[in-house]
Structures are given as structure tokens and as C-alpha cells.
Structure 1
Amino acid sequence: MVRTESRIIFATVAVFIALAGLAGLIRGLLFDSTDFIRFGAAGLVAGVACFVLLLNPSAGDDS
């Protein structure tokens, strides 16, 4: 039970990282800043990937 709750908390943090990456990506596109575009895209991809991996049930989970 405790392990599942920590995974949900980390998945929530990953969603906020993805949202921050999206905001950085949009800011980079609006102000023509390649650094914001690169880091925003990386944050978006990393946040979504972590979210999917953390909430994907593994084969060993019985809960």
C-alpha cells in the first residue's frame, strides 16, 4: 500500500514537470529562444514518460 502511494505522488510530480516543460516550450516558441524550446521539449517528454512508467502496473504487483 505504501509503495503504491509513493508511485502516485511521483506520478503527480511528473505531471507538473510535463506542464512546466510545456510552458517552457511555448515560451521558447513565442520569444524565439532555442534554449527554452530544447529544455521545454525535454521536460515535456521526460514528464510524460515518467508518468506513464510510474502508473503502468508491473507484472509483480498484486494490488
Structure 2
Amino acid sequence: MIDENGQPFPSYAAFCNAKLLEDNPSLKPYLEEALRKAYLKGVELAVGETDLPKRTFPVECPYS
């Protein structure tokens, strides 16, 4: 799948998210908070699955 700039999407999920935002631009203000919450949940899952200490992971999501 290709984005509007001719670049491939990294995953089908990324494509679906981009399409959702394109079709519903009013959701864009919620994206930052959703990413923050998802990252924090992902860290908790990673800590549980790997037994690595929480301090191993960045406090804030390194992706934007």
C-alpha cells in the first residue's frame, strides 16, 4: 500500500490509521493522546513479557 507521497506504508495497520484520519479529520487532535496511552500500555506489556525493568524503556514515546 502506498501513501499520498508514493511511500509504502510500514503496515496494514498504519494504512488503516491513515485512512481513518483522512476520512475523519476531526480525530486528529486525539491522536497524540492515543499514541501516549498506547505506548504506556506497550511498555507495561513489554515489561511483563521480558522481565526487563521499566527503566529500560524511554519514559515518553520516541515516535511521533
Tell me the TM-score normalized by structure 2: 0.36
Tell me the TM-score normalized by structure 1: 0.37
Structure ranking higher on relative contact order (CA contacts 8 Å, 6+ apart): 1
Q: Normalized per residue, which structure has more helix?
A: 1
